[in-house]
Chains A and B, each alone.
Chain A
Amino acid sequence: MILTPEVLAILILDVIFAFFGVIAFILSIKIFFGWNLESVSQGQYKLEKQSFLTATIIKYIFVIKVPLFLFFIFTLDKISHVLTGAMCAAGVVDATPYGTYLFILKIINLYLFAYWLVLHNEDIKHENQPYTKLKFGIFIIAFFFFIAELVVEWVMFASINVDKMVSCCGTLYSSSADSAISSIFSIDTPILLSLFYGNFFFIVVFYFLKRKYLFAISNLLFIVISIISLIVFFGTYIYELPTHHCPFCFLQSDYYYVGYLIYTLLFIGTFYGIVTGFVKESEKNITKNYKISMMFNFFYVILLSLYPIVFYIKNGVWL
C-alpha cells in the first residue's frame, strides 16, 4: 500500500463520503417509495424535510468531488515519481489491475452527479418539485457506482507495490501489439480526423437546428471520439513527438498543465450538451445549455486544432 499525504487525504475523504452517501442512500429509498406531494400526512411532511437534507448531502458530495477528481489526477502524477518505471499518472493507473476501472468509474460518476445536480437545480425552481422522485431514483442507481468507485479506489491504493516495476506511458500508449489500447491505433488518421471534425460538425448543425436529442447524442459520442483523437493524433502535437500518445503527461508542468484545460473544456462542453436532451427545462435554460455546450466544445476543438497547425507553421511538416 502507498500512503502519501495526498493518498491519505483521498482515503479519509472516501470514508466521509461513504458515511454521508449511505445516509443519503437510505433516505433516497424512503423518499423514492414514499413521496406523494398531494398528501398532508405526517409521513409526507417528514419526507419533505428529509428530501432537503438528502439533496444537500448529495450536492456537497458533488461539489467536493469535482476538484477532488483533479486532485486525484495530481496525486497519481505525484506518486508516479516513487514507482519505478512510471513517468506520469498513466504508470500508476497501470500499476494495478484496478486503475483503469477506477478511472472509468470516476468519469461515469462525474457525469452522473453533474446530471443529478442539474436535475436538482431544475427541481427546486418549481413549487411542486416535479423531479424529486426522479432525482432520488437516479441517486439510488448512482450510489452503487459511487460506492464501487470508493471501494476500487481503496483497493487500488492498497494494491500498489512500490517495489514492483511498472510500465511507462510510452509503452502503454503505443501501437505495439501488447499495448493495452493498441487497437485504437489501428484507426487511420484521416478516418479518425474525419470522425472528430464530422462529429463536431454535426454538433454545430444540431445546435443551429435546435435538435436537442440529436445534439445530446452527438455530445455523448464526442466524448469517446475526442479522447481517442487526443491519444492517437492531437497528443503527439502537444508533445511534438510522433511516438508519444499519453493522455496524462500533458497534465504536468512541462506542458503548462494544459491537460487540465483540455479535459475541463471537454467535460463541461459535452456535459451541457448531454443535459439538453435529458432534462426537461424551460426554453431559457435549454438555450443557455446549448450555448455553454457549444462554446466549450468550440474552444476545445480550436485548442486541439491549433497544436498541429502551429507545429506545421513552425516546422513545415506534419508528424
Chain B
Amino acid sequence: MIELKNITKIYEINKSDKVIALDDINLRIKEGELVVLKGASGSGKSTILSLIAALSKPTSGEVIVDTKKISKLPDNFASVYRRDNIGFIFQKYNLIPTLSVKENIILPLVPLNPDASDIQNKLDIVTNRFNISHKENAIVRNLSGGEQQRVAIARANINDPKIIIADEPTANLDEKLSLHFIEILRELKVLNKTIVVATHDPLFFGLDFVDREIEVHNGKIVV
C-alpha cells in the first residue's frame, strides 16, 4: 500500500520565490489499485508521482510504501527502493537515443549484475508482452513515438516492479496510440500491479478498469 501523510512540497526557486506544489495532502492507494491523477498542468500530479517513486523528498510529511518510510531513505537506499519496486514511464520516455532497444530495456538490470541467460529471459518476456521484440536491435532514435513508448514500458517492467508510475504517458501520442497504451495498462492491471497515472488526457477518464480518479487542483486533492 502507498500512503502519503500530510505531504507538503515547496519548490524554492529563491528566498522570495516559492512554489507550493503540494499543500498538506493525504492519499492512500491500495495494492493492485489503478489510480488516475487528473488535473491541469502545474496542479501537483507529477510531484505526487516523484514522491511515490522516491525521486524527490517532501518538504514535510511522509511517504510510506508497504510500511517502509521511503521519504526518509538516504539517496543510496532510495535508488535501491526505486530499482526493486518502481517502474516509471516518463512523458518523454527518457530513453537513451543512441542505444538499441535491447540495451535501453535491460539498463535497470545492470546494477544487479545478473547472468546473460537471466537477462535474455527477462528481456524476452517484456519485449513479447509489449510487442517490441521484432525491433530488439534497432537504435531507439530511429523508432516511431509509439514504438519508443513501448520500449519505455518494457524498460519500466523489466525488473517486474510492484508499482508502475506513468507521468502524462500519452502526451506525445496520437489517439490510436493512446488507446493502445490504455490497453497495455489494462494488461498490467490484470498482473495485479499497483498503477498510478498522472494525466489530463480525457481518454483516461471513465475507464471501466480504473479503480479511482483523483483530481488534483492547486496542490490539493479535490474531494
Contact = CB atoms under 8 A, between A and B. Distances in A.
B76 A42 contact: no
B77 interface: yes
A124 B6 CA distance: 27
B59 A45 contact: yes
What's the dominant secondary structure at chain A's contact region? Answer: loop
Interface residues of A, number: 11
Contact of A40 (B62, B74, B76, B77): B62
Contacts of A49: 57
Contacts of B8: 42
A42 B76 CA distance: 21
Given A37-B72, A127-B73, A127-B74, A48 B60 contact: no
A52 B78 CA distance: 14
B61 interface: yes
Contacts of B169: none
Contact of A45 (B60, B75, B76): B60
Interface in B55-96: 57-62, 71-77
A290 B62 CA distance: 41
Interface residues of B, number: 16
Contacts, number: 31
A48 B76 contact: no
Which of A42, A52, A124, A127 is packed against the most chain B CB atoms within 10 Å?
Answer: A127
A151 B87 CA distance: 53
A52 B75 contact: yes
Contacts of A52: 74-75
A264 interface: no
Contacts of B71: 40, 45
B59 A42 contact: yes
Chain B at the A interface: SS class: mixed
Interface string A27-39: 0000000000100
A52 B5 CA distance: 24
B58 A45 contact: yes
Contacts of A41: 60
Interface string B88-130: 0000000000000000000000000000000000000000000
A176 interface: no
B2 to A, nearest CB: 16
B14 to A, nearest CB: 16
Nearest to B71: A40
Nearest to B5: A40
A68 to B, nearest CB: 28
Nearest to A52: B75
A287 interface: no
Which of A40, A48, A124 has the most B CB atoms < 10 Å from its CB? A40
B73 A40 contact: no
A178 B126 CA distance: 82
Contacts of B61: 40
Interface in A1-55: 37, 40-42, 45, 48-49, 52
A45 B76 CA distance: 16
A127 B77 contact: yes
A130 to B, nearest CB: 12
Nearest to A38: B72
Contacts of A194: none
Given A40-B72, A124-B74, A127-B73, 16 more contacts: A40-B5, A40-B6, A40-B61, A40-B71, A41-B60, A42-B59, A45-B57, A45-B59, A45-B60, A45-B71, A48-B57, A48-B72, A49-B57, A52-B74, A127-B72, A129-B74
21 contacts: A40-B5, A40-B6, A40-B61, A40-B62, A40-B71, A40-B72, A41-B60, A42-B8, A42-B59, A42-B60, A45-B60, A45-B71, A48-B72, A48-B74, A49-B57, A52-B74, A124-B76, A127-B72, A127-B73, A127-B74, A129-B74
Chain A to chain B: the 9 pairs with minimum beta-carbon distance, closest first: A40-B62, A42-B60, A127-B77, A42-B59, A41-B60, A40-B61, A45-B57, A40-B60, A127-B73
